[in-house]
Amino acid sequence: MLTGWRYRLASTTGTACLVAVAVFMANHPLAQSVFTTAVPLFNRLEPIVLDESSFRLALTLSVLVISGAIWPLYKPRPRRLLDTVFLVQKRVLVGGLALAALGYFQWSHRLPRATLVMIVGFLSVALPAWFLVIRSRPTGSDGRTVIVGDDPAQIERVAPAVEAPVLGYLCPTITAAREGPSGSSEEAGKAIADGGVELRYDGDTALEAEAGLQGALDSLSRLGGLSRLEDILVEYDVDTVVLAFRQADRAEFFGALDACHEHGVDAKVHRKYADSVLVSEGDVGELVDVDLEPWDPMDHLFKRVFDVVFAVVGLVVFAPLMVVIAIAIKLDSSGPVFYCQNRTAGFGETFPVYKFRSMIPESEDAAPADDVENDQITRVGRTLRKTHIDELPQLWSILIGDMSVVGPRAAWIEEEVLLERDAPSWRKRWFVKPGLTGLAQINGAKSTDPNTKLRHDLEYIRRQSFWTDVKIVIRQIWKVMLEITARLT
């Protein structure tokens, strides 16, 4: 993988060369003839091959405009593969529109429509591929690595297991306890994280922790506190983060995993955390890879397209029904039509979920309960729940990207604590976007049996693919239709 000035040189030179190749290809008589014949929107156009002077001008302008539009990608920084592809394509489109606008206002600089479309189409494929090639990492290489943790002792244990060169570590600053005149500590030793996390140690524990940190990591630079993680990932173009936390907790541990996921950075954890995260199969050794992106990139793309289409069609088709439901809810009991609830998303983040209100206001409880035994559910609400129609407003959450059509059902934040007590591996569900339905739902698993629900959710994560989602949606629709039929008969 190229870095620093080599990456900048390869990215700028490669972009200019590919733009030149695109212009040459688009101006070739054979390409012009095939394109204006085979593409329906352009089959009425005559092939136009630029003369020598016009071609030189078109080549110069295309290289300058497209290369200028791509400028944010010349700086090396970690990004997920799909993010890189979409950003390059968006910038190519911006460059194409700029060339079109330039031709509109200055006739002598105008590119023929077929030529411009062929240039943009070719670069939309070739340029993303080029940036992925120069950013690809050799197999088995960990590249630039940093250690991130909140516990000096854990960093001390993990550091020797890191085989790749380590740039440094991020850890809260430790202030040793100072003894007062009486010989007792004036203040307990404490570690203050730059990001707002406060760790406290007692007396000798703080001194031992600081001594251990200084002794084991003298050869490494401290790059800052936990709040600087995202800045460090970008500034040092980090490839791998090794997490060394005292425990896999929501605030710090999964927050660091979230930052790695957003920037396309690999994450490794100590093997003892393997029960709390998704790890790559076949890993051996003290450190294991976290599977931050369990989806195949193309399946991920198809899944998002499917989510958007499903949500748009659902909102349009069910709009009249939702109006009727809203009126029924208002007539049945006092209170709002919608119920909003914060639920857990990927990596422990939260997002608001909206449902049609099916219970008496302010009667929600975090403890999982069976609908049959719950006397707080309204008459309309019982029907809505039985037929799952109360979930229709969540189509909006799917459309804006907070949820997916298929995935583990997002749990209520307060409910998460209760479910984790019964199912220790519950947090593995955080590695995929929550869904409207899932394998657990079509198999009848409920929150009252968290271990069964977790088993189905983890099976979905292992099997997930676009076609698996389609099959689950079909089975869920069939199940809902049967339940509605049963209610009506």
Q: In the chain, what are the domain boundaries?
A: 4-135, 145-289, 297-488
In this predicted structure, what is the pLDDT of residue 324? 92
Q: What residues contact 424, with CB distance under 8 A and at least 6 apart?
A: 275
Distance (Å, rounded) from C-alpha 446 to C-alpha 399?
25
* Token representation of residue 227: 């709040």
In this predicted structure, what is the pLDDT of residue 423? 67
Per-residue pLDDT of the chain (489 residues; tens, 9 = 90+): 666 677 888 889 999 999 999 999 988 888 888 877 777 767 667 777 777 878 888 888 889 999 999 888 887 777 777 778 888 999 999 998 988 888 766 655 677 888 888 899 999 999 999 988 887 665 555 568 899 988 777 787 788 788 778 888 888 765 333 334 444 433 333 433 333 333 343 444 444 444 444 555 667 788 888 888 888 887 887 888 998 887 666 677 888 888 888 887 888 887 777 666 776 665 556 788 887 776 666 677 788 889 999 999 999 999 999 999 999 988 888 888 888 888 888 777 888 988 888 887 765 554 555 554 556 788 888 888 877 788 899 999 999 988 999 988 887 777 777 776 766 667 777 778 888 888 888 888 876 777 788 888 888 877 778 888 889 999 988 887 887 777 776
Distance (Å, rounded) from C-alpha 31 to C-alpha 351?
50
In this predicted structure, what is the pLDDT of residue 223? 86
Distance (Å, rounded) from C-alpha 69 to C-alpha 392?
41
Question: Left if phi > 0, otherwise alpha if psi is -120 to 50, otherwise beta: which for 406?
Answer: beta
Question: Left if phi > 0, otherwise alpha if psi is -120 to 50, otherwise beta: which for 33?
Answer: alpha
Q: How many CB atoms lie within 10 A of CB 104?
A: 10
Lookup result for tokens 């729940």: 385
Do residues 179 and 186 make contact, with C-beta atoms less than 8 angstroms apart?
Answer: yes
In this predicted structure, what is the pLDDT of residue 177? 36
Residue type (1 letter), 204: D
Q: Which CATH number does 145-289 carry?
A: 3.40.50
In this predicted structure, what is the pLDDT of residue 198? 38
DSSP labels, 140-170: T---SEEEEES-HHHHHHHGGG--SPEEEEE
What does pTM read for this prediction?
Answer: 0.60
* Token representation of residue 151: 């516990």
* Token representation of residue 293: 């992106």
Q: Of 275, 295, 277, which is closest to residue 80 (Cα–Cα)?
A: 295
Q: Which helix (H) or strand (E) holds 428?
A: none
